[in-house]
Amino acid sequence: MPEKKGAEGLSIGIIMDGNGRWAKQRGLPRTAGHKVGADVFDDIALYAKDIGVRALTFFAFSTENWQRPKDEVKAIMDLFGQALKRIEKYRKEDNQVVFLGDRTPLLPEYQKRMADIEAKTAHRTGMILNIAINYGGREELVRAAQQLAQEAADGKIKPSDIDNACIEKHLYTSGQPMPDFILRTSGEHRISNFMLWQSAYSEFIFVDTLWPDFTPAHFDAAVAEYHRRDRRYGGL
């Protein structure tokens, strides 16, 4: 019998999409969808850790999401603040928590919590739990370019020293494995500025399920779909 391949060691990115539509289908405000979405975020993060995922990245808020109505932005930020409080209490999960994105426009209280969580979990050896908040893949690359240009201007590196590894070192995901697959829920087939550099050789898995309906069984199905793919990295 062929070996049943699981999720051990995989790096996975998730675009949690469909909260608004889920709420609309039920005649509820969009924020109700985000609230259930935040519970599903917890469930999937815990499940992924249990089944041995190496790194899990959630797209919680994009650089473009500020354009949404003020009350929706506030609701998502409140949910993020509540998630920070829960994450601070995680112990047995042994997750290393990393926040991807420009945190400077976030509440100072959140920024402090985020820095504390990162510092306290940096040594951990369990799953890497990345939360992308005010994150954009283009902005991440612009930031890397600015940092490298500054290093060149300071005479620390030569422009010809800049290679793939050098750029990767300046991404928010520095030192982490590239995603094996990126999953997007809700039937949309777009990358929406998520992990642009990191996804160069990732598989893309799109499922119709709306994020608030997403369960560990859907997660298992995505992992199984990933194992059916034939990754060649440009070779044969």
Taking alpha carbons only, the member of 48, 67, 76, 84 closest to residue 183 is 48
Residue 35 CB, shortest distance to ligand FPP, in Å, is 8
Name the β-bridge partners of 204. 182
Separation between Cα atoms, residue 132 and residue 98, nearest integer Å: 9
79 part of the interface to ligand FPP, by CB under 6 A: yes
Tell me the site size for ligand FPP, rule CB under 6 A: 19
Q: Count CB-CB contacts under 10 A for residue 233.
A: 6
Helices 108-121 and 70-89: crossing angle, nearest 10°? Answer: 30
Q: Are 197 and 141 in contact (CB under 8 A)?
A: yes
Q: Which of residues 175-204 bind ligand FPP (CB under 6 A)?
A: 186
Q: What is the DSSP letter of 104?
A: T
> Between residues 144 and 185, which has the closer beta carbon with respect to ligand FPP?
185
Q: Which of residues 80-139 bind ligand FPP (CB under 6 A)?
A: 80, 83, 131
Name the β-bridge partners of 99. 131
Catalytic site includes residue 17: yes
Separation between Cα atoms, residue 160 and residue 182, nearest integer Å: 32
Separation between Cα atoms, residue 209 and residue 187, nearest integer Å: 7
Residue 40 CB, shortest distance to ligand FPP, in Å, is 7
> Between residues 65 and 209, which has the closer beta carbon with respect to ligand FPP?
65
Cα 236 to Cα 198, 203, 231, distances in angstroms: 21, 16, 9
> Between residues 13 and 20, which has the closer beta carbon with respect to ligand FPP?
20
Instruction: Find the binder of ligand FPP among 28, 47, 51, 65 (CB under 6 A).
Output: 65
Stretch touching ligand FPP by CB under 6 A, among 5-13, 77-85, 104-112, 223-231: 77-85
Catalytic site includes residue 220: no
Contact string (CB under 6 A) for ligand FPP, positions 18-37, x = contact: xxxx------------x--x
Pairing verdict, β 128-135 and 11-15: unpaired
> Between residues 32 and 79, which has the closer beta carbon with respect to ligand FPP?
79
Residue numbers annotated as active site: 17, 65
Q: Which residues contribute to the site for ligand FPP (CB under 6 A)?
A: 16-21, 34, 37-38, 41, 58, 60, 65, 76, 79-80, 83, 131, 186
